[in-house]
Amino acid sequence: MIKLTVSYPKGEGATFDVWLPTDPAHPGREEFPDSGHGFEAIDPAHSSLDGLQLLVVDDDPEASAMLRIILADRGAVVQTAPDVRSALQLVAARRFDALISDIGMPGQDGYDLIREVRRAESESPQRQRLPAIALTSFTREQDRAQALAAGFDEHCGKPLRPLKLVQQIRVLLDHVR
C-alpha cells in the first residue's frame, strides 16, 4: 500500500489520507487501514447491495444524506427517516431488508426504535424479523453488548467506515437468508 496524505493548514481545508494498492497479485481483495486498529480485508463479493431496500434513521440530515449516497452507490434503494416516529411509520407501511439506525437521537433514541420494532414483530407473527444495525460513537464492548441486548443484530462504530458498514450489511443479510 502507498499512503498519500494531502494536508492544509488548520482552518484552511481538510486532510485526506488515500491508500492505493501496490500488489497486483491480489486484484480481487485489498486491505485498507483501520484507523490504527489493524487491517480489514474487503471482499468485493460482500460489497454489493444491489436492490436491497434499506431504512436509515438518523437525526443529522448530513449524516443521513452521506449514508444514502454510500449505500445507493453500492446499489441499495435507501429510505431515510429523521426520527423514531417517522421510522416506525415507514416500517409499518412497507418491507425493508435492513434497518440502520443511529443510537444517539434527541427524544426517542435508537434503543427505543429497535425495542418498538421488536415489540411489533412479536405481536404480529406473520411479520418477518427486520435485520438491524446500530450506528454509534459509543464503541466499547459494553456499548456493543447493550445494542445487541436491545435488539440490534450488529453494532457499527463511528466514525463510520463505509466499506465496513457495507460488508456488515451483506454478512448480516447472508446469514438471514
pTM above 0.85, yes or no: no
State the DSSP code for 92. H
pLDDT block averages, 10 residues each, the chain of length 177 = 60 58 47 41 65 96 93 95 97 96 93 96 90 91 93 91 91 82
**Residue 22: count of CB within 10 angstroms of its CB:** 7
**What is residue 21's predicted lDDT score, i.e. its pLDDT?**
55
CATH superfamily, domain at 46-176: Response regulator (3.40.50.2300)
Evaluate whether 31 touches 39 at the Cβ level (below 8 Å). yes
Burial 156-171 (b: 16+ CB within 10 A, else e): bbeeebebebbbbbbe
Q: Where are the domains of the chain?
A: 2-42, 46-176
